[in-house]
Amino acid sequence: MNIHEYQAKALLRSYGAPVSDGRVVLRAEEAKTAAGEMDGPLWVVKAQIHAGGRGKGSFKEADAGEKGGVRLAKSVEEAAEEAKKMLGRTLVTHQTGPAGKTVNRIYIEDGSGIETELYLALLVDRGTSRISFVCSTEGGMDIEEVAASTPEKILSFAVDPVTGYQPYHGRRIAFALGLSGAQVKQCVKLMGQLYQCFVEKDMEMLEINPLIVTDSGDLKCLDAKMGFDGNAIYRHPDIAELRDETEEDPKELAASKYDLNYIALDGEIGCMVNGAGLAMATMDIIKLYGSEPANFLDVGGGATKEKVTEAFKIITSDPQVKGILVNIFGGIMRCDVIAEGVVAAVKEVGLQVPLVVRLEGTNVEKGKEIINSSGLNVIAAENLRDGAEKIVAAVKG
C-alpha cells in the first residue's frame, strides 16, 4: 500500500527527520490561506498523486498551464493560483501511464535553497533477505536512468538484522554521498530515524529523492515515497487510515473487497486460476505461446460461487482483455463451484471475447457438465498447454 508525499513527510516528521513545513489543500479556496501560513519567500506547489516524476510530468488539460506537477511560486497569490490550475486536472508522468492521474490534493510547501540533490532509499532486498540502504550522489533525476547508464554511481549497504542499524552504516552512507563535517553527524542521525520508521511501520520501500544539502549546509528530505507491506497493515491502523482508494486501480480495489489475489497487468489474456503457483505457470505459458497475460489472479482454495462470479466480472471489465483462460486444477477448490461461478457471471455481464476453460481434479465431470449444459460458447481444453495454445490462437485469429 502506498501513501501520498505529504502523509509520508508527516510520518518522517514524527520520527524527527528534517522535512519542510507544508499544508495539504483539497479545494482551491483553501490554497491562499494555506500558503499564507508560511513565510516565503519561496513556495513550492506539489500535486499529490501516487506516482513519481511529477516535476517532469505534464497536464492533459490546456488550462492547467505548461508547467509540470511541481511548481515554484514567489508569492502567496501565485502559489494559490498554481494550486488552482492543478486541482482536478490530469497529470501524466512516466509512472502514471498515458491515462495519467487526477490531482485531488495539493501540497504547498516551504521552498528550500538547494546546494546538491542526492538519492536515498531503503528497501527489502530479496537477494540478501536484508533491509538495504541504496544511495547515490545523482539525486533528483530519474534513478532508473542512472542505474542503466552509470550503475557504479549507485551504492547499497545491507543491515544485518541481528545488529540492526549502527552508526557506522550512517557514516559509510555519508562518505558515499560525499558529505563532510557536521553533515556526517546529521546523516548518521537521519539514517537511524529512517531505519527505525521503516522497521516499525513494516515498510517495503522508502525513497527520498531528492535528499538535499540546503544552501545553509543541512540535510533535508525534499521528497518522500513510502510503500507498506499490505499483509502487515492490520498491525498499523494509523497507516491503514492513510489509504487513498482513488489512487488505486479500480479492478484491484474491487478484488481486494472480495479478498481475491488480483494484480492488473498490461496484456490481452485474462486469467482465472486457483493457486498462486499455477497462476504463475499460466502466465508463463501464455507468454510462451506468444501472447501476454492481462492479470494475475488466484481465486484461492476456498472460493465460493459468488467470489468466482466477482472475479470473472473484474476480468471482463478490463477493456484490454481480448480472451479469457480459466485454468483450474481442483484440489480443495471444486471444479463445479468454478463452473457455476463462470456461468453465473456470463449470464450477468455477457461474454464478448473467446473463453477457454480447462478443468481438472475434484468434481471435474460435474464442472464440465455445468459448462456444457449452460449453452455458453466455451472452448474446452484438455490440459494447460492445450488451453494456452487455444486461447492464444482464438485471440490472434
Q: Which residue has the cell 455477457?
A: 350
Binding status of residue 55 toward ligand ADP by CB under 6 A: yes
Scanning 26-86, the segments in alpha helix (DSSP H) are 31-36, 76-86
> Which of ligand ADP, Mg ion, none does residue 203 bind (CB under 5 to 8 Å by kind)?
none
Binding status of residue 140 toward ligand ADP by CB under 6 A: yes
Write the CA distances from 392 to 127, 313, 352, integer angstroms.
34, 21, 16
> Which of Mg ion, ligand ADP, none does residue 108 bind (CB under 5 to 8 Å by kind)?
none
DSSP string, 351-381: --S-EEEEEEETTHHHHHHHHHTTT--EEE-
Closer residue to ligand ADP, CB minimum distance, 47 or 338: 47
| 289 labelled catalytic | no
**Pattern 171-210, ligand ADP, x by CB under 6 A:** --------------------------------------xx
> Which of Mg ion, ligand ADP, none does residue 111 bind (CB under 5 to 8 Å by kind)?
ligand ADP
**Which residues carry a binding-site annotation?**
46, 53-55, 109, 112, 117, 209, 223, 274, 331-333
3-state helix, strand, coil in the chain (%, to 5): 40, 25, 35
Is cis: bond before 210, omega within 30 of 0?
yes
Report the C-alpha gap between 371 and 251 in whole angstroms. Answer: 26
Tell me which of 10, 20, 90, 244 binds ligand ADP, using CB under 6 A. 20
The grid cell for 51 is: 506516482
| 382 labelled catalytic | no
CB of 113 to ligand ADP, least distance (A): 8
CB of 119 to ligand ADP, least distance (A): 10
Q: Which of 6, 107, 119, 262 is catalytic?
A: 119
Binding status of residue 209 toward Mg ion by CB under 5 A: yes
Closer residue to ligand ADP, CB minimum distance, 53 or 300: 53
Tell me which of 109, 138, 223, 247 binds Mg ion, using CB under 5 A. 223
Neighbours of 124 (CB within 10 A): 16
CB of 125 to ligand ADP, least distance (A): 22
DSSP string, 118-161: EEEEEEEETTTTEEEEEEES--SS-HHHHHHH-GGGEEEEEE-T
Judge whether 313 and 345 are in contact, CB under 8 Å: yes
Closer residue to Mg ion, CB minimum distance, 119 or 165: 119
Scanning 320-362, the segments in alpha helix (DSSP H) are 335-349
Fill in the DSSP letter of residue 4.
Answer: -
Binding status of residue 40 toward ligand ADP by CB under 6 A: no
> Which of Mg ion, ligand ADP, none does residue 207 bind (CB under 5 to 8 Å by kind)?
none
Closer residue to ligand ADP, CB minimum distance, 140 or 167: 140
Q: Which of 207, 247, 268, 310 is catalytic?
A: 207
Between helix 182-200 and helix 5-14 the angle, nearest 10°, is 110
Q: Which helix (H) or strand (E) holds 310?
A: helix 305-316
Binding site for Mg ion (CB under 5 A): 209, 223
Catalytic residues: 119, 207
Binding site for ligand ADP (CB under 6 A): 20, 44, 46, 52-55, 70, 109, 111-112, 114, 117, 140, 209-210, 222-223
